[in-house]
Structure formats: structure tokens, C-alpha cells
A and B are shown apart, each in its own frame.
Chain A
């Protein structure tokens, strides 16, 4: 029997079995899950790197699943995803930590809300939830305070973009193609195939998985599917210095405010020891409006200090903003809308994932399995015997012991060239990041893959050095950008 790929290539050379639109965590999880099978795969991403949309702007929390209604797709994929994501992150070599999490009630009257969340979580199969008292809160997280808290031992933290890169690198290693700066501009149909028109040419695919995040509604509409409308809700964050003297062990959340379209402004540690405050949740008119505002920055600090008084006066090294792709229109605050993951009846073979907001990061691997099951229901999927579940190893100089550092430098002097002073990133790591399999070559490409420029000087020192290395790696000065598109850094040389 011929495999799906052989059968197809027989008749349609150059045709992909599945094209995934959107290189966020969901698209990349789908791509990797599909890469287990003998399929010709393509992922199209409009931006200059992966994880540049919804994925990069969240709290980086692995959710346990008690915040969403029982039996909803959100709850099912969250709880299923929780079971997948820890071993998956380990397989892929993505740093992560099961920290546990506290949802704290500052007053006795908020305790019923904690009970509700616990009951909801218990019914969805979230493991280990407990209501704990003041003494237990202090023991679990000395920086937190509260009368009562919901303790979730299986919540954790992970870098959403590192996870996304790892998923895509694994998929690429198993033969999937990833094309950046390739937005889908039009969709047409011919002979049972989807033709995706992009500025970089047309691509033909038998099936399409639309994981376009904020733009999933618009991409669906290109295929004649006018079923969705995505509303961007902006969330602003602040990040402290690692040296702020504040060693937070786990995320600490307030009781979710009833009128907040998010989970409330919470305090989350990063794996590197920063503390993140946020996010706000406000509907905005523009799907690319990532501006921070003075009002919200002030509110984040006030809310965070209310939850954790020790944060008063702490300095920040960075702020960022994310956009949630919500299905609830701004007038319907508080209404619940579920994830959508469905095949179009109008356009069989076209699967859309829409409204994948929180807990989408945790749910992504479970959503990916769902998508594969949907595709498998219509065609025979054959496992590849040589599928490699891991990805190429990424070593981090800052995390190496002395003897490993000495060995690394002796083997390759690039490990001896420290490019980033704050985060101790070496030239070897920067060069490896720039040689990623997707061809992403922006400053943010390096920053998010190596942490170069993420420290307290925010690129003041390593920025000029990176510009030199980019040129050494063949990027002309006029093509050096922060994140692709029009984000150019330079307007040529000053003299001759």
C-alpha cells in the first residue's frame, strides 16, 4: 500500500497534505503532532518569526484547568494538555517548572469563590486542589498573603515562545516546512485542493488548519467561511529585574474579578527569576495595538501591591503587551465563549481553531491531538517509523558548570566570547539562534532564543554587538530589523 504522501505526489507534485496557517503555539503544536505521520507538511507564518502574535504576550503559566466551565472544550483540552505538556517540554528540552499556584482571597467573604473554583476544577478532573488557610499560604509562598487560598499543586511555568520554537524545530527536524513572512492573502479551490496565495507564491494543500490567532476569522473568511469574529483584548505586563530581591516561588492570583474578561492582575515568576505583573484586559479596536498606557502601568503596580505588599517600590526592566483573541464582543463582558476547533461543513478539509485564548498555551498539545484525530477520520495516517520526538539540543552557557564551560570554550572559541553582559550569552549561542531552521534573523529572534538583550541593560551593550554578528552572518545593514517588516534599525552607512 502506498503511503498518503506517495499517493498524493503521484498525482500532484508539490502538493502538501496539510498546510497550517499561523506559527503560534497552537499552529506549531499541530505541526509537530502531524509530523509523526507520513505527511507532507507546511506552516505559513505572516511575521518574521514564530510566536510573534498571541503566543508571545501572556503570563507563561501552565494552567491546571479550574478557571473554565466543566465540560467546555477549554476545560477538556486544558486538563488533557496539563497531562501532556510537562513530559512534552522535557522531551523537547524546554525549561519549565511545576511551581504550584495560589489563588488568594484577602477577605473571608471571598472564600465561597475559592470553593466554587475548586468544585469546578474537581469536576473537570483537575488534580490535587485544596483550600488552604493563612498559615499554609505563608508556608507555600512566604511573599503572599491572604485569609484563604486555593492551592493548585500542578500549575507551572514555561516560556511560551521557547516552547513554540521547540515544537516547530522538532517538526522541522521531522520534515515539516516552515515559511516565515508568508501571509495568506487569498484562498481558492481546485480539484479538491486548497490554493493558498501569498506574496511568496502559491501553495497547494489537501487540508488546511487555520491557527491564525487574532486573524483566524479573517483567514477563514478568505476561504468563504464567515462564521467567526475575533475581538482583540489587550493585556499589559511589567517585568522586574532578577535582582529585585524578590524570589517568588509560584504564581499568585487574586480571586478572579467578576467583571474582568481575564483572570485578574496576578504575579508570576519566570524561570530566570524575574517577576511579571499583569495582565490588564481591555478590548481594543486594532488587532496590532500593543501599546502600553500610563494608566494601566499604574494600575498594575497598585493591584500587585495589594496582593503582595512587598512589591512596593520594586524597579522594572521591561514591559510588554499581549492581545487575547476573544470571541466575546466588548459589550458582552463576562459571558463565556468556548474554544472553537472544527472542520468546516462548507469547506470540508478546512479546520479552524478560533478564540484560542487562555488556557490555550496549556491546551495546545491537546488541541493538536484533536486536530490530528479530525484529519485521521478522513484519511489514513501512517506513523513514520523514524519520527524523532525531541529537537536538536540547545546549550546555554549561563547554565553550565565551570568544567563544562571550560570544555565548551576549548572546543569552540565562540563560547568564550560573551556578547550579552547581563544574561551571559555567548557568541556561539547567538550564532546558533541565527542559524535556526526557519530563517528567522531579526534582533528579537536572537533575544527570545538566547535571552541576549533581555537583561537589565535591555540591549544597550549587546545591541551594537548583535548588529555586527548579524552582518557576519550575512544580513546586510539595511535588512537588520527588530522584528521584520518595517522595523528597520538603520538607514545605511553614514560615510561612503
Chain B
């Protein structure tokens, strides 16, 4: 370590104060951590909740539906009642495998040595460039979340006529939001044969406002030199390639993208955390501990959640476990692997401590399914540890299942229609 750089220590450092991080800080206190440090890069606590002015939050955590800012406020009030060191405007620039954080804030640049770390950095949005939309590069192409920030927090009119590519939840919410503000939404185009967001959002944000949702179609070109003038949309085939001859020009001055979220694991990578190609987040065990001892992960940085409440529950658990780790508690025994089987996009956690019972698994299906038989099966014995039937399963909805028995073999979560 360099001289002349302040160094501080804490028991548990939580990186990010959104729905997961706030709950993690509370969880760490509840499990007895002495000094908990909650670091938030934004100026206020709550993360993306602050720009989600629509309601639908809190149904599971508070048993009522409230707006994003209200949800953030409740959690922040709970945090304020605890002796938790909260710092906003504090950006963690680096995390080492030995849990040293490099923190930059207006109050100063410093190093923090943490007994345990909870990663709760959230996610970022996929961009135009990641999906390689050809065409010009005018003003007026923005991700739905950025637009949500500009419209809801900065009160700015981002355009007059918009097209939305992708039917993720933020895109759906923004479609309605734009209409409320007098900005025409010409249509929502989704490359998959199903909507990316929750069904209730499709209904409440598009159907109720007469906004067309075109499935199996995408934007194949952006036009306009200085500002977007139009986009070209086309149908896609089974391989999601544009079908020649189906192109149509849609005049607009704004293109919003809601084409997926990516867990923001830059710090995790720096610390050497093993990531899952299926979730884009860390590989964790039932304590939500990553491959780096003492580093835990929760919320959207672990996997993309459709409901903030689940991110909070996960944060709470990660915070508690981080506190126990900081106090010296270590899990005993080998671990078994949990993998995603037929029609399952991913299952969490990916590791379970061998011999422990009562594990809760989360999973998400890869495509919409009907009349589903879900099974958690042992890879060696073929034993079914848990099973459940569903009339329907959608990729937009995270499912949970309990495994009662102790497990001593690798598991696979599979769904069969």
C-alpha cells in the first residue's frame, strides 16, 4: 500500500445502496456486524429505485404496492436507524482478492480493508452497439433506463416521437411514461416471439394505451445524420435474422433500447470472482458467497431480477452471511454443483455445501412453457429432491423451490412440458 493514502477498516463493506445493498447493510447489522460501511456512488440512496416513479414495488417486502422512491425511502429509513456508516457519492474503483477497496469520493480518496464484502452494484443496460444496429450515429438513441433518469429525475423531454426496441420491463414502463408526457410511441419491437417484461407490464403499459407490440421484429437500421429521423424495422426469421423484403420505415426522432440488462461485475472481475456465463453474475453458494472467500453477491449484480423485493431478500441474506464470515464463521465441507437442465436458463445458487439441508433454489426458464413438470434431480443417484407442477412458466418470472433434504451429489434443475 502506498504511503500518504488513508486506510480504514470495517467488518462488512456493502458496495451499492439499491434494493439489494440497503437490505444487505441491514442484514449485516442484524447478524451482529459491528462496523458496517455502505458505499453508494450516486448522491442518494436507493439506486435505480429513485427513477422508478411507477408503483408495483414492495408487494412481498411490505405487503403493499408503493413506488420505487417510496420503497427506497423505507429501506433508507431503516438503515438510518442503525449505526451503519453510509457514504453517498462514493465510487469503489477497485476490489482486491484480499478485500481491499479503493474508494473515491468528494470526502477523499482512501483504501478500505473489509472483513467481508457484499457486492450489490446492480446492472447496466445493453447498448445499441452490443446488438450492433447498423446505420448512422445521431442524437436520440438512448437506453430506456437513461431515458427514465432524464425524464423522471431531470424533467427533460427526450424526444417527440419514439420507437422502442425490446420489451424489457424498463422499456414497457417507459412506453407508458412517454405517452403520459405527450411523447408519441410508434411501437415496441421485440426480436423474440415473446415479450421480455412481466405480463402485467405488457398489459398496463402497452395494451391499455393502445401501443402496438410487434414480436419477431427488430430495428435493422438507424437513419438521420444529426438527430434520429427514422428507423427501419423488419421481421426476423427463426434464426433471428432479418427477412429481406419485410423492411418498413418508421419515422421517429427517438429510439429507446430495452434489450437486456447485464450484471455490472467489473469489480468482481478485478477481485477474481468466478462468473457464470448463464447469469453474467458470480457463481455463489447457498450463503451467496462467491468463489473469493469473504466476498458475497446479491441483487442484479448476481442475476437480473424482475422484482425489486427479491433483490432485497437476497441482499438481506448476503448481508447476514457476510457478517458471520467477518466474525470468523466458516462453512465446513465440500460443495456440490447445481446446474441448469432442460428448458432452464439458469439456477441459483450454483454451489451447495454438501450435507446441508433446506436449501432454496431460484431458477428461470429459457422460454415460455405450459403444463410444466419441474424437477430437481440428483445427477448420480437420479433421485428427485424436489418437484413442482406449473400451468405456465415465463422467462420474465423468477421461480423458487425448496430442497428439504441434505444433498451430497450434484443437482440439475429441469423443466418438462
Contacts and interface: CB of A to CB of B under 8 A. Distances in A.
A318 interface: yes
A402 B142 CA distance: 35
A475 interface: no
B140 to A, nearest CB: 8
Contacts of B5: 402-403, 405-406
Contacts of B127: 317, 457-458, 460
B124 A291 contact: no
Interface string B242-275: 1000000000000000000000101001000000
Interface string A361-401: 00000000000000000000000000000000000010001
Contacts of A485: 226
Contacts of B181: 494
Interface string B1-15: 111111000000000
B254 to A, nearest CB: 10
Given A418-B93, A458-B128, A461-B124, A490 B156 contact: yes
B150 A467 contact: yes
Interface in A471-495: 477, 481-483, 485-495
B104 A487 contact: no
Given A491-B157, A493-B156, A494-B151, A294 B124 contact: no
Interface stretch (A114-122, A171-179, A408-416): A408-416
B106 A487 contact: no
Contact of B156 (A405, A483, A494): A494
Contact of A402 (B1, B139, B149, B269): B1
Contacts of B105: 409, 416-417
B255 to A, nearest CB: 13
B41 interface: yes
A409 B134 contact: no
Interface in A265-320: 288, 290-294, 297, 315-320
A201 interface: no
Interface stretch (B107-115, B315-323, B363-371, B398-406): B107-115
A347 interface: no
Contacts, number: 158
A488 B6 CA distance: 43
Interface string B41-65: 1000000000000000000000000
A487 B227 contact: yes
A256 to B, nearest CB: 26
Contacts of A490: 150, 156-158
A464 B149 contact: yes
B108 A416 contact: yes
Given A292-B134, A293-B134, A409-B104, A460 B154 contact: no
Contact of A316 (B132, B134, B155, B226): B132
Contacts of A493: 155-157
A426 interface: yes
B98 interface: no
A421 interface: yes
Nearest to B51: A464
A424 B93 contact: yes
Nearest to B125: A460
Interface string B129-160: 11010111111101101100111011111111
Interface of B: 1-6, 41, 89, 91, 93, 102, 104-111, 124-125, 127-130, 132, 134-140, 142-143, 145-146, 149-151, 153-160, 181, 220-221, 223, 225-227, 242, 264, 266, 269
Interface of A: 243, 288, 290-294, 297, 315-320, 397, 401-403, 405-410, 413-418, 421-422, 424, 426, 456-461, 463-464, 467-468, 477, 481-483, 485-495
9 contacts: A317-B129, A397-B104, A402-B5, A409-B109, A416-B108, A424-B93, A460-B125, A481-B139, A483-B226
